C-alpha cells in the first residue's frame, strides 16, 4: 500500500500529530476540519452557519489539492457541539452536495477542539 500525505496552505494546518489528508488506492481520507480560516489561523466569527461554511471551504481546498472534488465525496461524518445546530448546519452542508449527496452520519459530542460548533471529516473516492 502506498500512502501519500496531502497538505495545502489553502486549509488550516493540522493542530496536532495528524495530516490534513491521506490518499491511498484512489481513496482520500480528510481529517476532521474545524472552522479555522487558513489565512488568519483563527476560528471564523459567527454561528453554526458561518462555521459550517468555513469547514466546507476547508474540505474543498483539501479536495482540490488532492485532485478531487465534492462529487468524489462518498462519506461524511459531522460532529456537532449540540444537535440544536443540526438543521442550520444541514442547510449549508446541502449547498455543497446539490445532487447525489454522500452517505453521512451526524453526532452531538460533549466537546470539540477549540470550543467550535462543528467538525466534519470526509472520505472521497476516484
pLDDT of residue 61: 98
Mean pLDDT by 10 residues, the chain (126 residues): 94 92 98 97 97 98 98 98 98 97 97 97 97
β-sheet with 103-108: strand ranges across: 4-6, 21-24, 27-33, 118-125, 73-80, 103-108
Domains of the chain, by residue range, sit at 4-125
pTM over 0.85: yes
Beta bridge partner(s), residue 77: 105, 121
pLDDT of residue 120: 98
pLDDT of residue 65: 98
pLDDT of residue 1: 81
CATH 2.40.30.260 fits 4-125, yes or no: no
Amino acid at each position: 500500500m502506498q500512502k501519500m500525505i496531502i497538505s495545502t496552505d489553502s486549509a488550516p494546518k493540522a493542530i496536532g500529530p495528524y495530516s490534513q489528508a491521506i490518499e491511498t488506492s484512489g481513496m482520500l481520507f480528510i481529517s476532521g476540519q474545524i472552522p479555522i480560516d487558513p489565512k488568519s489561523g483563527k476560528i471564523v466569527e459567527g454561528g453554526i452557519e458561518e462555521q459550517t461554511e468555513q469547514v466546507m471551504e476547508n474540505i474543498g481546498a483539501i479536495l482540490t489539492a488532492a485532485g478531487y472534488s465534492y462529487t468524489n465525496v462518498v462519506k461524511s461524518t459531522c460532529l456537532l457541539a449540540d444537535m440544536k445546530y443540526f438543521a442550520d448546519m444541514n442547510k449549508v452542508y446541502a449547498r455543497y452536495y446539490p445532487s447525489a449527496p454522500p452517505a453521512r452520519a451526524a453526532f452531538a459530542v460533549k466537546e470539540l477542539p477549540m470550543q467550535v460548533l462543528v467538525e466534519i471529516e470526509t472520505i472521497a473516492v476516484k
